[in-house]
Amino acid sequence: MTDDRPIKLCRWIRPLAAYVFACSAWMPLSSYAQDAPITARTSGQSDNLIKFHPGNTAAPGLSVEVMQAVQRIDPTLKFVGQEVLRPLRRVEAELVAGKLDVFFGLVRNPERAAKYLVLSPPLYRQFTQLAVRSEDPINIKTFDEIRQLGSAGIVGVPRGSAYVDHLNGLGGLTVDDGVASVSSTLQKLIAGRVRFVFYGGAVLRKYIQEDGLEGKVRLLPARFYSEDVCVMVSRAADPQLVLRIERALERLRASGELAAIQDKYEVRGFPINRN
């Protein structure tokens, strides 16, 4: 006769583990006092007003508000350095070197997953779009349509963006990443030096508003990709940092506070076209 006790044990251990994890999302703040304090070095990102908007006390940025919420949930966690705005390339280099411990808000892709620890749940989902000059009647829906334009279809992308290598890898596209900021790339569009600007639609929309470009620039309706924007931790950081941030993020998700922050910055999901 076989002993089926191990099988029966597994049947109730897994549900119990799931129950314990779910309950931890609602853990009272007093229970976090037992955790050892951690001070994590982080950074702001220059030229992304969705995530970091210095001087705007009402809407300081989605990444800033999530960090504040995580610190409120887990008072033994402290993030330092978010007021320092760095270009994206420098943020990534300092995460790899261990000079930064964590960053709130990088698009998840295979290259980054190999370099950093990618946390869940995501901060939000980003949808990419194309911006064109308002007087341009074109209505692009696929990259093939852009390829057919040849030299009349130059795509502007901010230097250092993950989209530069991605678009170059598609082949047949002329990509211009000569300037580092979204604002400067939009100015190249207005000046006629590029035909399109490719980036996250919410970020483009924000800069069109902030830079007073309504009437000069419009977003095409096609959504090309959806990508998770996540918290990423350096592989040289304290392993406990991953567990502590994920625990707080899960609590934010379960309570609905993360969704409320997403709504505030207009980054909730909507249908897209995949090309």
Residue ranges of the chain whose pLDDT lies below 50: 1-2, 5-26, 30, 270-275
Q: Taking Cα atoms as reference points, which of 225, 265, 222 lies closest to residue 130?
A: 222
Range(s) for CATH 3.40.190.10 in the chain? 33-124+228-264, 126-219
Question: Which CATH class for the 33-124+228-264 domain?
Answer: alpha beta
Identify the pLDDT of residue 113.
Answer: 95
Number of Cβ within a 10 Å radius of residue 72: 13
> ∠ CA 273-265-88 to the nearest 5 degrees?
80
C-alpha 113/C-alpha 48 separation (Å) is 21
- Tell me the three state secondary structure of residue 231: strand
Q: Where are the beta strands (DSSP E) in 87-201?
A: 102-107, 116-118, 124-133, 155-156, 175-176, 196-200
Identify the pLDDT of residue 161.
Answer: 86
Identify the pLDDT of residue 189.
Answer: 98
Amino acid identity at 275:
N
Identify the pLDDT of residue 225.
Answer: 87
Q: Taking Cα atoms as reference points, which of 118, 119, 24 lies closest to residue 74?
A: 24
Identify the pLDDT of residue 25.
Answer: 47
Superfamily of chain region 126-219: Periplasmic binding protein-like II (3.40.190.10)
Amino acid identity at 157:
V
Token pair of 65, please? 């508000």
Phi-psi category of 37—alpha, beta or left, where left has phi over 0 and alpha has psi -120 to 50?
beta
Number of Cβ within a 10 Å radius of residue 260: 12
Token pair of 192, please? 């006629």
